[in-house]
Amino acid sequence: MSNLLSIQQDLSNYEAHLVAVSKTKPIEAILELYEAGQRSFGENKVQELVSKYNSLPKDINWHMIGHLQKNKVKQIAPFIFMIHSVDNFDLLEVIDKKAKDNQRIINVLLQIKIAKEENKYGFNFDELVSQFQLEKYPNINFCGVMGMATFTEDEDQIRKEFQQLVSFRQQLKNLFFSTIEGFKEISMGMSGDYKIALEEGSTIVRIGSLIFGSRNYSE
């Protein structure tokens, strides 16, 4: 909680938004933050997200930040506030369809690969640019981009990758979203690198362990 205050202080200097990443953490820990005024929470697994949605106050804005399988979109489509992790065209098609089925417009960020690591997800930027067609997705509200930097101690590399994401957003804005006011979000920065992300223009940071303590996946 003390970390929450210092993070909020950092964010207020940049007008950035905090998504508290609550994956693996219990309902009580989320409620504690909720009572302190936090309303945006991020999860990376559909089953856990749905179960927490069902147990917690309905004015929470839930953010899906983990790799999303097409066949699971229908479970979150009725309530999800924003999907950060959209990294392929098939998934965009399914989200558009499920949004329509639910008579909703779903907020989406395009996840773009900026890290050097092979195992990180995201659109290849050139492929995205060559194949993207906005008119195919009338039930999606495109809000911006998301990216994850390489897991490294090398701050210069992290900074360069964040700068690349900022540039990708601007290029996409010019090419496809020039009339779309809301295409302005840059979701980048986690516990280890959020200060660099803020300096480079992040508008949404996704912070877990710094707020909730480290995660123990073996439990």
User: Maximum CA pair distance of the chain?
Assistant: 48
Q: Which of 35, 74, 71, 75 is nearest to 53 (CA)?
A: 75
Is residue 33 part of the contact set for ligand PLP (CB under 6 A)? no
Of residues 157 and 209, the one with the C-beta less far from ligand PLP? 209
Q: How is residue 74 written in tokens?
A: 């229908």
The H or E element containing residue 52 is helix 46-55
Q: Which of 44, 107, 202, 203 binds ligand PLP (CB under 6 A)?
A: 44
Is residue 152 part of the contact set for ligand PLP (CB under 6 A)? no
For residue 69, the minimal CB distance to ligand PLP (Å) is 15
For residue 205, the minimal CB distance to ligand PLP (Å) is 9
For residue 209, the minimal CB distance to ligand PLP (Å) is 3
Is residue 114 part of the contact set for ligand PLP (CB under 6 A)? no
Distance of CA 79 to the CA centre of its chain: 16
Is residue 52 part of the contact set for ligand PLP (CB under 6 A)? no
The contact pattern for ligand PLP, residues 177-206, with x = CB under 6 A and - = no contact, is -------------xxx-------------x
CA-CA-CA-CA torsion for 118, 184, 209, 55, nearest 10 degrees?
A: -110
Using CB under 6 A, list all residues that contact ligand PLP: 21, 23, 44, 65-66, 148, 190-192, 206-210
